[in-house]
Chain A
């Protein structure tokens, strides 16, 4: 989980800082700066930036597969104006498509929860604390349903089209 990851990192940094402080205390102000450079061996592969498939968030969607939550999620998608950014049926508008099985910030239920909860730098608002976590999970349920079974990799100009609303 990213939050716990961040917390763990913070704790580690604080601990290192405390250790450095005590080092200063022991060796005095004239200690060489190289004393603080400690290399740590990493026998494992270091993954590229988050999100990574090498770890999974322990968050579980309580509404996974819940038909009523899916329906409520669809209503919330309209009520919170998600529809006018991401398009009817999530086909993309101001914001990216949610109906293409492709996820910029990860597509697991926990990752989609995080995107809604935290917001994203391209203008996705931070909804955490503004709407309930339950509502976010219902949105996750609905949003993830939009790309079910979709494969949009090929466009051969013979297949179906989607309706879009412009501005």
Chain B
């Protein structure tokens, strides 16, 4: 290995280290808050129409993921510049498996065992908590509260889904609506703090 190769290796290692220790700034509080409002609106409509369809929630999740993802790419290019691709890849590599698991569980249960569909809101909330935990090292430390919130609501939803007292619209609307607004608030609070050290 020449001196140049060795120097290039050192540079690559340093850039990896910088990306790994940087806070991901791709999440926009406004867009995240909007996804929370969508959840509240969809839940409200389902309650009025006495709808229980969970497929529509999968569709909403896909739309929200697309909105957050597009904004994340744009913001990363501005905030992380040369590190943008590394930061996006690292975050996606950690969050994507959990999101995929949520989609697979949802589609399989709804198509093959719809009688267990009431478990899905709780399972999705627990998975959301796991997803936030998996990217926590690159997010503002306050996001721990969002992960704990989703674990708590996931547990509560799983317990409540055992009896038919609450419709799935309630079990989706309140946790995801409030949860996403909480995430947006935490991101906004973190962005007003002193530069991340």
* A is bound by B: no
- Hey, which bits of chain B sit against chain A, CB under 8 A? none
